[in-house]
Amino acid sequence: MATKPLIGITMGDPNGIGPEIIAKAVQSSEVLNICEPVIYASRSVLRKAELAFGLTIDCKIEDKGNFNDLEVNAGSIDKEAGEASLFFIEEAVKDALDKKIGAVVTAPISKESTHLSGSVYPGHTEMLRDLTGAENVVMLFEGGPFKVALATIHCALSEVPNLITKEKILTTLSVCDKDLREKYGIDNPRISVCGLNPHAGEAGAFGDEEINEIIPAVKDAVSNGINATGPLPADTLFYRANRGEWDLVLAMYHDQGLIPFKMLAFDTGVNVTLGLPIVRTSPDHGTAFDIAWKGTAKPTSIIEAIKAAVRLIRQ
């Protein structure tokens, strides 16, 4: 029997649902049958989770920081919680780069708390890029009837048009094509590209980003051997994607891609960072401060994230 891989799981924000969903996930046979979990977290927080939810955490815990007396203030934005969140991510990534663990699964963090602690990153994706020295990274979501990647990630909607450049789209398509082949084992992946504007610009009537940036990028991608189609109107593209026409949809901005995806796969969706030298996955939801430490959080998405991590490293 093959040795089960070590999967690092980071605590996320201790004031959110991270500790609860981790404690529940590592009880699951779905997880324990396929991997050996290694939790990067404050032992005191995990102990509080055990007591609060009547669970016993019986797996390796990595707690190298000075967070043994970390307070839990459920649902609160807190500088120390942000510091702990970042510390355990950094530790898990170091161990993944050193091949001590096979993959990193990150529980949700609070951007407000991490910013209070001095972080400049808008989210995990950008932080992981710098921690690993990756050149280009892409946020992808899997677990539903179609995969979705994002050309732009955490930015104001007003900034999106200026970020949609030929170079950006071409680079994103290249990263997606490479990882779909290498990490997912898909030969000649079919990628559909969303338009930015209504009706994909209607030949310039509703905007010229398609004409000036997206169409030239898709043409160059095709000439580079990438099986890309588009840009297509997003209002009909996702209907077709749901019927299996493509392996991946490239959306131009966050909500364009994630509203249809999460509507169909909220509990089973998994966030995967493409372009990294390590495997990283996470649940597709946030800290859920409104239900934190109430015992009602479901571990479904983080279990799916762990399963996806194991599948990707085996691929």
pLDDT surpassing 90 at residue 94: yes
For residue 262, what pLDDT is reported?
92
pLDDT surpassing 80 at residue 1: no
pLDDT surpassing 70 at residue 2: no
**pLDDT of 47-63, one tens digit each?**
999 999 999 999 999 99
- In this prediction, residues 72-84 reach a mean pLDDT of 95
For residue 154, what pLDDT is reported?
87
3 state SS of 61: strand
Whole-model pTM: value is: 0.93
Distance CA 85, CA 106 (A): 10
3 state SS of 255: helix
**pLDDT of 262-299, one tens digit each?**
999 988 899 999 999 999 999 989 999 999 999 999 99
Question: What residue ranges in the chain does DSSP mark as E strands?
Answer: 6-10, 36-40, 60-62, 103-106, 138-142, 147-150, 190-194, 227-232, 248-251, 270-274, 280-283
- In this prediction, residues 94-107 reach a mean pLDDT of 98
Which residues does 216 contact at the CB level (< 8 Å), separation at least 6?
166
- In this prediction, residues 243-250 reach a mean pLDDT of 96
- Mean pLDDT across the chain: 95
**pLDDT of 136-194, one tens digit each?**
999 999 998 999 999 999 899 999 999 999 999 999 999 999 999 999 999 999 999 99
Burial of 10 (0-12, 13-18, 19+ CB in 10 A): buried
Structural domains of the chain sorted by starting position, each given as residue range(s) with its CATH number in brackets? 1-134+276-315 (3.40.718.10), 136-273 (3.40.718.10)
For residue 164, what pLDDT is reported?
97
Closest Cα partner for 242 from 115, 124, 146, 101?
146
Percent of the chain with pLDDT over 70: 99
